[in-house]
């Protein structure tokens, strides 16, 4: 997922506010101890999510796909004084690792970490969300989008991660076989772009962020 030349990426990181000590430790330990560490949002994207959250000053955030908690901690930074983030992940094997870092954060009381199937949990939620961050199994992105849409306030945002899929969505050639995840993301991106209820912006940050703002 290195879309930028290394020197430009390094320059960008060197001119971006640093990770907190806790986030830097979480970053390191995820890469050392956890499989598929590339799933971590990382420094630049983490600061982007934090910046979005500070600009929006959300009261309620929903995150679908916690992994080791890096993005949840970043999103929580901009919450209002009484705000909260509900973050859902199906992988119970990561719970102890992730909860340890949440508990060490000064924002621990703002983080509601739930283990389970997001498709089953989302319909039970009664909150209205200012922001939703979708970063879970790609095959169900459309399902998650549909489930959360009416729970997002008008003017609120749905942010979907990995929509460039390591560049595969932009590398479609005639006669070339398209794998299921890539095709699913092609369909999802088109759906977001064509949805008359939103305006959208696909940002080529890391593996791609689709920003959808609800209009009606």
CATH number for the domain harbouring residue 208: 3.40.50.150
70, part of any domain:
yes
pLDDT, tens digit (0-9, with 9 covering 90-100), for 3-52? 678 899 899 999 999 999 999 999 999 999 998 888 899 999 999 999 99
- The phi, psi pair for 155, rounded to 5°, reads 95, -5
Contact between residue 153 and residue 129 where contact means Cβ atoms under 8 Å apart = yes
Residue 120 lies in a domain: yes
The pTM assigned to this predicted structure is: 0.96
Segments forming the whole domain that contains residue 130: 6-214
Q: Is 1 domain-assigned?
A: no
pLDDT at position 1 over 80: no
State how many domains the chain has: 1
- Residue 73 contacts residue 105 (beta carbons within 8 Å): yes
What the block records as the tokens of 70 is 């890096």
Q: Are 206 and 42 a contacting pair, CB within 8 Å?
A: yes
* Cα separation, 91 vs 112, whole angstroms: 16
Integer-rounded Cα Rg, in Å, for the chain is: 17
Q: What is the mean pLDDT of the chain?
A: 95
- Gap between the Cα atoms of 180 and 215, Å rounded: 31
In the predicted model, is pLDDT for residue 99 greater than 70? Answer: yes
| Tokens representing residue 186 in the block | 């092609």
Query: pLDDT tens-digit profile of 122-177?
Result: 999 999 999 999 999 999 999 999 999 999 999 999 999 999 999 999 988 777 88
- Classify residue 185: in a domain, yes or no: yes
Q: Which of 18-27, 94-103, 174-183, 194-203 has the lowest mean pLDDT?
A: 174-183
């Amino acid at each position: 997922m290195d879309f930028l030349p290394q020197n430009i990426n390094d320059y960008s990181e060197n001119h971006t506010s640093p990770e907190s000590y806790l986030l830097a430790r979480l970053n390191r330990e995820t890469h050392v101890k956890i499989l598929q560490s590339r799933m971590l949002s990382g420094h630049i994207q983490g600061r982007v999510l934090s910046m979005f959250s500070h600009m929006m000053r959300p009261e309620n955030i929903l995150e679908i796909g916690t992994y080791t908690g890096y993005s949840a901690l970043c999103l929580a930074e901009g919450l209002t004084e009484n705000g909260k983030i509900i973050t859902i992940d199906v992988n119970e094997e990561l719970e102890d690792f992730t909860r340890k870092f949440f508990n060490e954060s000064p924002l621990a009381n703002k983080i509601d970490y739930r283990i389970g199937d997001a498709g089953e949990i989302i319909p039970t939620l009664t909150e209205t969300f200012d922001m939703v961050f979708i970063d879970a199994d790609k095959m169900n992105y459309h399902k998650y989008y549909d489930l959360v849409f009416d729970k997002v306030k008008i003017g609120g945002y749905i942010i979907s991660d990995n929509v460039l899929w390591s560049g595969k969505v932009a590398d479609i050639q005639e006669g070339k076989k398209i794998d299921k995840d890539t095709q699913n993301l092609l369909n999802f991106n088109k759906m977001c772009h064509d949805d008359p209820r939103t305006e959208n912006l696909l940002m080529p940050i890391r593996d791609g962020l689709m920003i959808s703002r609800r209009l009606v």
